[in-house]
A and B are shown apart, each in its own frame.
Chain A
Amino acid sequence: MAGTIGSASEHHAPQSFWRRYIFSTDHKVVGIQYGLTALVFLFIGYGLMALMRWQLAYPGQPIPIFGKLLLAVLGPDMADKGIMSPDLYNSFGAMHGTIMVFLAIVPLAAGAFGNYVVPLQIGAPDMAFPRLNMMSYWVYFCGGVIMLVSFFIPGGAAKSGWTSYSPLATVTDAGYLINGQTLWLIGMVFLITSSLLGAVNIITTIIQLRARGLGWMRLPFFVWAQLVTAFILLLAFPPLEAAGVLQLCDNLFDSSFFLPTGLVVGGKPMEVSGGGSPLLWQHLFWFLAHPEVYVLILPAMGIVAEVLANNTRKPLFGYKSLVYSAIAIGFISFLVWAHHMYLTGMGTKISTFFQTTTMLISIPSVIILTTLMLTLWGGSIRFNTPMLFALAFLPMFGIGGLTGLPLGFSATDIHLHDTYYVIGHFHYVVAPGTIFALFAGIYYWYPKVTGRLMNESWGKVHFALSLVFMNLVFMPMFIQGLEGMHRRMYNGGATYAAGPDVAYGLSLALKLNVSISHAAWLLGLAQVPFIINFFWSLFRGKRVESDNPWQATTLEWATPTPPPHGNFLEEPVVCRGPYEYVPDATGRDFLPQNEPGTPPTRQPAPALTPQTQPA
């Protein structure tokens, strides 16, 4: 990198194609890069699952079309005659989870939306460390490439779950020194590094670069959500990086961090020193992976809050409760992780501790959901596409959250752990939960980024179909789980149904695999209008007539469309809170944060009971 001796912090708009679009330090370009890359990974992660769902619905049958492709590309070890082998199923399962969590959702929620929107919403010209920002994206990109490459090496991709428990993760494919698990671990080091650097950037930006007048309690809730998310990433990721290094040592250098003494593999004692603990891996992994789920949901809550306030034309209910709840979630999330380990033989004292913290964290989550729902009361609701997705988020996240409660209690978790109930629970939170919020964000901020609106009718089609099929895919999974159907079984648990004494409930549950798979494939088809709309609208979408087409109050709408290098034509000065939706005499019902002038007095909220005297 050539060191230019010029004024330190001055950034002139770069001129060459490479500096403007590929190696750009402009947060908006970086945000778009994160967004597009993440959407590609979302598509790949979906594809892996779609193929797995064939094996679950029709175990042992050759996959149409893709079976031949898999056979040609990956060879008969993986897809003999086009049928998904158990190894291939396991590697698709592990990589589906890894790709969706680390390569799709987090980069989209924090990398794309965080990078693009946060500096705009706080009135900053860019992020605090623009070059670091560019580096974060490219490190993420490299990590993603490493993960994808792992599919094509001998032995195939990692196949020990996204959770990579030892000793399975060390013992699998031990015949190859560099195997899928090794690449998974190296890829994770890249991804974690990218997230850490991104988190440092976002936190410093929010603390240091807020515009004049933008005090803490005037920040849009989206910015608070991103701040808490960044702190979680900053402090929770390093233990997984450490654990990854330790597992790499086990895999490459025959150490025994996670390998217990006396481990026997394939009838032969393993030639390692032993003395390690598989539970150590679990503690270190879940220390990150639990706070990680709050990284998945908090930006989504932030987006929903913005869209709800804007489309109800009234302030968010309980702004302070939202902020304090988000902070509480961030803090408590570090202390709940072993609720993923109830079945490891932990004693009652420590299980009680983790149960208690798990129940405690549900309180701020419910407060956030409830305040968002209460925001709707008395609102003048506009049912545009972003609003539809934001509205659907509320009950979907509600189902996801409530179904988590039996998992949080160790007594009920004994029956439900590692069953399809768990899969149903967390997918409800992330799929019709977070992903719906991300869709809302895309439809909402698309006009600011591109200067054009996405097509409303097709947006509504996308929404309706997605909502229906999401529920058809994930709701039956609760039934399957309650009937005892285990997760990660490559033939859909068909082995269970083979015996003569199988309970009726379980055999019914297994039949549900077929309808779930069909719904999953239709869910994929339902995304086609979105994909077409996304690209078509870039060229043919209706142009916006103003810089603020949604008539919103937050600062990102005070820039030209699309925002230039440096974002604001003049430095914004904030004079009020973020959601001043108040009708005035001229009929305008919102007051942007940076517009000078006193707001009109707010009318009281409509009465709950009918008044005898009209006002």
Chain B
Amino acid sequence: MTSPVDPRSDSAPESSARRHKLILAALVACTLVMVTLALLPLGTGLKVGLVLTVATLEACLVAGVLMHLVEERKLIVSILVLTGIFFVSLLLLPILSEMDHARHFFK
């Protein structure tokens, strides 16, 4: 039984099934869009940007809806935001260090 403070109360079975069919369709669609974009003759920078944007959208659907993050407690969301900040700095700072190098890097 769901506790009184649990925000995810039971929805009616039919709307839940419909919701999941929608999500399934959305995720499949995102994947197909990604593959199509990748096969089009676009410039590298544009292609990377668009494909990763669609991937991020797909990830938000999984995280937000399937993992219930949109209705999750503030505590969990703030832990994930904190993690996100460190994740972004881990992705960015090494490459920024390399690009600011005295010599062209790796040679």
List chain A positions with a Cβ less than 8 A from chain B: 207, 231, 235-236, 239, 260-261, 275, 277, 279-280, 283-284, 287, 331, 334-335, 338, 341, 345-350
Residue contact B75 to A207, C-beta cutoff 8 Å: yes
Residues of the B chain whose Cβ atoms lie less than 8 Å from the Cβ of A335: 89, 93
Nearest residue, chain B, Cβ from A349: B100
Please list 27 pairs of residues, one from A and one from B, whose beta carbons are closer than 8 Å in the complex, sorted by A's number.
A207-B75, A231-B82, A235-B82, A235-B86, A239-B90, A260-B106, A261-B106, A277-B98, A277-B106, A279-B94, A279-B97, A279-B105, A280-B94, A283-B97, A284-B94, A287-B90, A334-B86, A334-B89, A335-B93, A338-B93, A341-B97, A345-B101, A346-B97, A346-B100, A347-B97, A347-B100, A350-B97
Q: Is B102 an interface residue when CB atoms closer than 8 A count as contact?
A: yes
The 5 closest A-B pairs by CB, nearest first: A347-B100, A283-B94, A350-B100, A345-B102, A350-B97
Q: Is B42 an interface residue when CB atoms closer than 8 A count as contact?
A: no
Q: Is B96 an interface residue when CB atoms closer than 8 A count as contact?
A: yes
Residue contact A279 to B75, C-beta cutoff 8 Å: no
Produce 1/0 per residue, B56-87, CB < 8 A to A.
Answer: 00000000000000000001000000110010
Nearest residue, chain B, Cβ from A262: B107
List chain B positions with a Cβ less than 8 A from chain A: 75, 82-83, 86, 89-90, 93-94, 96-98, 100-103, 105-106
Residue contact A277 to B105, C-beta cutoff 8 Å: yes
Residues of the A chain whose Cβ atoms lie less than 8 Å from the Cβ of B96: 350
Residues of the A chain whose Cβ atoms lie less than 8 Å from the Cβ of B103: 345
Residues of the A chain whose Cβ atoms lie less than 8 Å from the Cβ of B83: 235
Distance (Å) between the CB of A363 and the closest chain B CB? 19
Distance (Å) between the CB of A327 and the closest chain B CB? 11
Residues of the B chain whose Cβ atoms lie less than 8 Å from the Cβ of A280: 94
Residues of the B chain whose Cβ atoms lie less than 8 Å from the Cβ of A349: 100
Q: How far is the CA of A183 from the CA of B32 in the complex (A)?
A: 44
Residues of the A chain whose Cβ atoms lie less than 8 Å from the Cβ of B97: 279, 283, 338, 341, 346-347, 350
Given A335-B93, A346-B100, A347-B100, 12 other A-B contacts at CB below 8 A?
A: A207-B75, A231-B82, A235-B82, A235-B83, A239-B90, A260-B106, A277-B98, A280-B94, A338-B97, A347-B102, A350-B96, A350-B97
Residue contact B86 to A279, C-beta cutoff 8 Å: no
Residues of the B chain whose Cβ atoms lie less than 8 Å from the Cβ of A275: 106
Q: How far is the CA of A280 from the CA of B106 in the complex (A)?
A: 10
Distance (Å) between the CB of A603 and the closest chain B CB? 39
Residues of the B chain whose Cβ atoms lie less than 8 Å from the Cβ of A207: 75
Residue contact B101 to A346, C-beta cutoff 8 Å: yes
Q: How far is the CA of A345 from the CA of B105 in the complex (A)?
A: 10
Nearest residue, chain B, Cβ from A282: B94
Q: How far is the CA of A349 from the CA of B89 in the complex (A)?
A: 16
Q: How far is the CA of A137 from the CA of B75 in the complex (A)?
A: 28
Residues of the B chain whose Cβ atoms lie less than 8 Å from the Cβ of A331: 82
Distance (Å) between the CB of B106 and the closest chain A CB? 6
Distance (Å) between the CB of A330 and the closest chain B CB? 10
Nearest residue, chain A, Cβ from B96: A350
Q: How far is the CA of A341 from the CA of B96 in the complex (A)?
A: 14
Residues of the A chain whose Cβ atoms lie less than 8 Å from the Cβ of B98: 277, 279
Distance (Å) between the CB of B77 and the closest chain A CB? 14
Q: How far is the CA of A284 from the CA of B102 in the complex (A)?
A: 21
Residue among B96, B100, B101 having the largest count of chain A Cβ atoms under 10 Å: B100
Distance (Å) between the CB of A582 and the closest chain B CB? 34
Residues of the A chain whose Cβ atoms lie less than 8 Å from the Cβ of B105: 277, 279
Residue contact A347 to B94, C-beta cutoff 8 Å: no
Residues of the B chain whose Cβ atoms lie less than 8 Å from the Cβ of A341: 97
Distance (Å) between the CB of B83 and the closest chain A CB? 6
Q: How far is the CA of A260 from the CA of B90 in the complex (A)?
A: 21
Residues of the B chain whose Cβ atoms lie less than 8 Å from the Cβ of A284: 94
Residues of the A chain whose Cβ atoms lie less than 8 Å from the Cβ of B94: 279-280, 283-284
Residues of the B chain whose Cβ atoms lie less than 8 Å from the Cβ of A239: 90
Residue among A236, A284, A346 having the largest count of chain B Cβ atoms under 10 Å: A346
Q: How far is the CA of A518 from the CA of B94 in the complex (A)?
A: 43
Residues of the A chain whose Cβ atoms lie less than 8 Å from the Cβ of B86: 235-236, 334
Q: How far is the CA of A331 from the CA of B79 in the complex (A)?
A: 12
Distance (Å) between the CB of A341 and the closest chain B CB? 8
